[in-house]
Structure 1
Amino acid sequence: MNIAMIATEKLPVPAIRGGAIQIYIQSTAELIARQHQVTVFSIRDPRLENDETARGVHYIRLNKEHYLDDLADTLRKNHYDLIHVCNRPAWISRLKEAAQDSKFILSVHNEMFAEGKISEEDGTACVRNIAGMVTVSDFIGKTITQRFPEAKDKTRTVYSGVDLAAYHPAWTDQGRAIRKEMRARAQLEGKRIVLFVGRLSKVKGPHILLQAIPEIADKHPDAMLVFVGSKWFDDDKVNNYVRHLYTLGAMHPEQVTFIKFIKPRDIPNLYSMADLFVCCSQWQEPLARVHYEAMAAGLPIITTNRGGNAEVIEEGRNGLIIDRFDDPQEYAHAINDLFDHEDVRAQMGRNGRRIAEQKYGWQRVADQLLEVYQKA
C-alpha cells in the first residue's frame, strides 16, 4: 500500500519538540514502512528539512499557516491508497474531496467529536467519508459513538505504545547505572522520588500534588517530588500558573524539584531515577501516554479515574487509581502507602513492565493499525 499519515498543525514529526500524536506517528510509521510505502505530513521546523526520507519514511513538511490548503493540494497531485488523518475530523471532508479515490482512516486522540469541537453536520460528514476510525481509549470511543451512533461499526480502540528498549527499570544493570548517574547529577541521592511528567497546566493537576507535600513530608521527610515539563511542550516561558507552582514549590525546597522541558529522547533516564509515578489529571484525559512510559520504566503508577487513564491500570497490580482526583490527601495517602510497603511497590513496578511488554510495544500498535488499513 501507498500510505499517507497526516499530523496535526501543532508540532513537527519526528517528535523533536515532543507531542503524543507526533511520537505515535513517528513510531508506527517507521514500523509500517518496513512493509509499505509511507509518507508523513507535518508542519515545517527550522531544525528539519522540508522534504526528506529517514528510516524508510518519506517526510513532507508544509507551511503551518497554510497547512490544510497545502495538504489538499498535495493530495490532489499525488495518489495514496490510504490516508490516515490524526485527530482532525473536521478536515476529512476537505481532504476527501481532494483525494476521492483514497480510503481514509481517522485516529482520534482527544474529545474531537464533542459539541463545540465539531458541528453535527461536519461530524456526520466525517463519519460518512471515512472507512475506519481508531481511538486511543474506550473513553474516547464512547464520546464519539454516543453523539454519532452511526460511527460504532467503524470505530475500534487501538491503545498507544512505548519504545520498550528505551526504558530501563532500576532492577536491570543499565537501569541501575542510569539511576545512580541521574540522581547524582540532580543531587537527589538518598531521596524517595515521586515523578510527574507533563505540561504544567491546571488540567494536569500539579498544584494538587504540591498541596499533598506536607502530609507526605511528615511521614517521609526524604520524599522528593520531581516535576518535569513546561507550560507548553518545549516552551519554557513562565505564565501565571507556572509561577504559582514555583511559589508553592519554594515553600518546600527539600521536597520539590522542577525540571523544565526535556527532549523526548532524554525522558526515559528521568523515569529510571524515580521510585513511583503520579498522573494527577483533573480533566477527562483521553489516556495520557506517560502511563505507558512509567510501566516501561518499571514504576508503580498512581493515576486518576479521569477519562481513559484507568483503562491501562490493573488496580493493585501495576498501580492505584484515585477516585477523589481533586483531593490532595488522596495522593498523600497513596504515596505514603507505597513508600511504607517497598515490596508491594517493587512488585507493582515489575508487573507494570511485564504488562507493557505484553500489550504496549509499538509493534503491537503498528500491527493493529495495519489490520484497520487492510480492512479498509
Structure 2
Amino acid sequence: MHILIIAPEQIPVPPPYGGSVEHCIYQIARKISSRHKVTIVSKLRANFPKKSTLGHITIHRVPGGNKQTYLSNVLKMVKGHHYDIIQIDNRPRFVPAVRRAFPHTAISVFLHSTTFISAPMTSRKQAASDLSSANFIVGNSLSLQNHLKRTFPNIRHKVRYVHLGVELNQFRPGLARTRSKHHPFIILFAGRLIPRKGIPVLMRATQIIRRTVPSARLHIAGGTGKPSYKKQLQQLAASLRIPVTFKGNISRRQMPQFYRSGDCFVCPSQGHEAFGLVNVEAMASGLPTVASRNGGIPEIIRHASNGLLVTNYRSPAAFAKEIIQIATDSSKAKRLAKQARIDVTRRFSWRATASKLETIYASKSSR
C-alpha cells in the first residue's frame, strides 16, 4: 500500500519537542514503512527542509498560517498522486475537502482525543457530518472508541481503536536513585500546561505530601500557548510554599533522561484522557506511576499491579495518599516499577500499533 498521512497544521513531523500527535505519526510511519510506502505532509518550519526522505518514508512540509491555508497547501502538494489510504490525524474538519480531492480513496481519521469532535472546536452535528465521509475512524484507546460510538451512532460501524506505543530502547530504566537530604523525592509531570491536565491538583497534593515527606518537590516539563496560565501556576506554587521547577519544553531526545531523573510520575488529568502516552513512557522508564482513573488510562495502568489509579481525581488528598505510598514504601515502589516495564514491553510497542493499523487498512471495507 501507499499510505498518505496528513498531520495537523501546528508542529512539523518529526516534532522537535512536545507534539505527541506528530510524534505518533512519525513512529507509526517508521514501522509501517518496512512493508509499505508512506508519504507524510506536515507543517513547514524554519530549520526544517521542505522534503525529507527516510527509507520508504517521504515527508513534505508546507506552509500554513491557519488551518485553511495549510489544508489548501497540502492538497496542492498531493494533487495528481495515487494513494491507497489517506490518514488524517486529529483534524476531522479536513475530511470533506480531502474527500472531494480523492473521491475514490479510502480515508481514515486517526483521533488522539475528543478535542476536535467536541465544543468549542466544533458542534456534534458538524463533527458527525465531517466524519461521515471517512471510511475509518480510529481512536487511540477502547475508551475513545466507545465514546465515538456513543456520540456518533450512525457511523459506529466505522470506528476502531489502536493503542499507541513507546520506543522501548530509548525509554528504559536507569540506575535506581538513592534518596537522602542530597537526593530529595522528585515527583514528575510532563504535558501541556493547560487547565485540564490537573497541575493545580498535583501542586496541592505536593503540599500535603510534604507534611509526611518533607523532601518532596515537583518538576514540571511542558510548554503553554498562554504564558498567563504558567504565571498562575507559578503564583500558586509560591502561595502553597512548595518547591516547583518548571523545565519548559523538553526535546523528545531529552525526555528519557527527564523520566529517569524522578522517583514518581503523576498524570492528574481532569478531562477525558484518551490514552496518555506519557504514562506509557514513564512506565517503560521504570518509574512508579500515579494517574487519574479517567478515559483510556485504566487500559494502561492496573491499580496496585503496575501503577496506582486515583478514582477521586479532583481531590489533591487522594493523589497525595497514593504518592506517599511510593515515597515511603520502597519495596512497593520497586515492584510497581518492575511490573510496569514488563507490561509496557508486552503490550505497547510501536510495532504492535503499526501492525493493528495495517490490519484495519487492509480491509478497506467499512465505507
Q: Which amino acid aligns with 2:300?
A: V
The CA distance in 1 between the partners of 2:73 and 2:224, in whole Å, is 30
Task: Give yes or no for contact 2:270–2:314 (8 Å, CA) kept in 1.
Answer: yes
Q: Which amino acid aligns with 1:159?
A: H
User: Superposition pairs for residues 139-158 of structure 1, below 5 Å?
Assistant: 139-158=143-162
Q: 2:224 is matched with which residue: 214, 217, 231?
A: 231
Q: 1:116 deviation in Å?
A: 4.8
The CA distance in 1 between the partners of 2:124 and 2:261, in whole Å, is 48
Task: Give yes or no for contact 2:18–2:249 (8 Å, CA) kept in 1.
Answer: no
Task: Give yes or no for contact 1:4–1:38 (8 Å, CA) kept in 2.
Answer: yes
The CA distance in 1 between the partners of 2:198 and 2:305, in whole Å, is 24
Range with greater deviation from structure 2 (363-372 or 144-153): 144-153
> Structure 1 unaligned runs (5+)?
170-174, 233-237
1:129 maps to which residue?
Answer: 133
Structure 1 pair 254/125, CA: closer, same or farther in 2 (3 Å)?
closer
The CA distance in 2 between the partners of 1:229 and 1:188, in whole Å, is 27
Q: 1:346 deviation in Å?
A: 0.6
1:243 maps to which residue?
Answer: 231
Q: Which amino acid aligns with 1:220?
A: V
The CA distance in 2 between the partners of 1:209 and 1:18, in whole Å, is 20
Q: 1:304 is matched with which residue: 271, 292, 296?
A: 292
Range with greater deviation from structure 2 (115-124 or 79-88): 115-124
Q: 1:359 deviation in Å?
A: 0.6
Deviations 1:104-147 (A, max 9, x none): 11111121333554445544444442222210122222222112
Q: 1:90 deviation in Å?
A: 1.8
Query: Secondary structure of 1:59's partner?
Result: strand
Query: Secondary structure of 2:272's partner?
Result: coil
The CA distance in 2 between the partners of 1:63 and 1:89, in whole Å, is 20
Structure 1 pair 189/360, CA: closer, same or farther in 2 (3 Å)?
farther
The CA distance in 2 between the partners of 1:62 and 1:99, in whole Å, is 19
Query: Secondary structure of 1:278's partner?
Result: strand
Query: Secondary structure of 1:176's partner?
Result: coil
2:306 maps to which residue?
Answer: 318
Q: 1:162 deviation in Å?
A: 0.9
Query: Secondary structure of 1:58's partner?
Result: strand
Task: Verify: 1:197 aligned to 2:190, yes or no.
Answer: yes
**TM-score, normalised by the number of residues in structure 1:** 0.89
Q: 1:161 deviation in Å?
A: 1.0
Structure 1 pair 200/371, CA: closer, same or farther in 2 (3 Å)?
same
Q: 1:213 is matched with which residue: 200, 206, 218?
A: 206
The CA distance in 2 between the partners of 1:26 and 1:297, in whole Å, is 21
Q: 1:347 deviation in Å?
A: 0.7
Q: Which amino acid aligns with 1:5?
A: I
2:15 maps to which residue?
Answer: 15
Structure 1 pair 95/344, CA: closer, same or farther in 2 (3 Å)?
same
Q: 2:98 is matched with which residue: 95, 100, 104?
A: 95
Structure 1 pair 248/368, CA: closer, same or farther in 2 (3 Å)?
same
Query: Secondary structure of 1:73's partner?
Result: helix
Deviations 1:213-234 (A, max 9, x none): 33211111122211112224xx
Task: Verify: 1:83 aligned to 2:86, yes or no.
Answer: yes
Q: 1:97 deviation in Å?
A: 0.9
1:235 maps to which residue?
Answer: none
Deviations 1:198-257 (A, max 9, x none): 11222111111111233211111122211112224xxxxx72221122233345777432
Q: 2:107 is matched with which residue: 98, 104, 121?
A: 104
1:176 maps to which residue?
Answer: 175
1:328 maps to which residue?
Answer: 316
The CA distance in 2 between the partners of 1:92 and 1:199, in whole Å, is 27
How large is the RMSD of aligned CA atoms in angstroms? 2.2
The CA distance in 2 between the partners of 1:354 and 1:51, in whole Å, is 38
Task: Verify: 1:258 aligned to 2:246, yes or no.
Answer: yes
Task: Give yes or no for contact 1:75–1:98 (8 Å, CA) kept in 2.
Answer: no
Q: 1:348 deviation in Å?
A: 0.5
Range with greater deviation from structure 2 (29-38 or 241-250): 241-250
Q: Which amino acid aligns with 1:374?
A: A
The CA distance in 1 between the partners of 2:181 and 2:188, in whole Å, is 12
1:172 maps to which residue?
Answer: none
The CA distance in 1 between the partners of 2:301 and 2:293, in whole Å, is 10
Task: Verify: 1:352 aligned to 2:351, yes or no.
Answer: no
2:72 maps to which residue?
Answer: 69
> Structure 2 unaligned runs (5+)?
none
Task: Give yes or no for contact 1:40–1:60 (8 Å, CA) kept in 2.
Answer: yes
Deviations 1:39-76 (A, max 9, x none): 00101011211122124310111111311112223333
In percent, how many aligned pairs have the same letter? Answer: 28
Structure 1 pair 258/117, CA: closer, same or farther in 2 (3 Å)?
closer
The CA distance in 1 between the partners of 2:7 and 2:181, in whole Å, is 38
Range with greater deviation from structure 2 (300-309 or 160-169): 300-309
The CA distance in 2 between the partners of 1:155 and 1:164, in whole Å, is 28
Range with greater deviation from structure 2 (36-45 or 298-307): 298-307
Query: Secondary structure of 1:258's partner?
Result: strand
1:160 maps to which residue?
Answer: 164
Range with greater deviation from structure 2 (5-14 or 141-150): 141-150
The CA distance in 2 between the partners of 1:248 and 1:213, in whole Å, is 12
1:58 maps to which residue?
Answer: 58
Count of residue pairs the alignment pairs up: 360
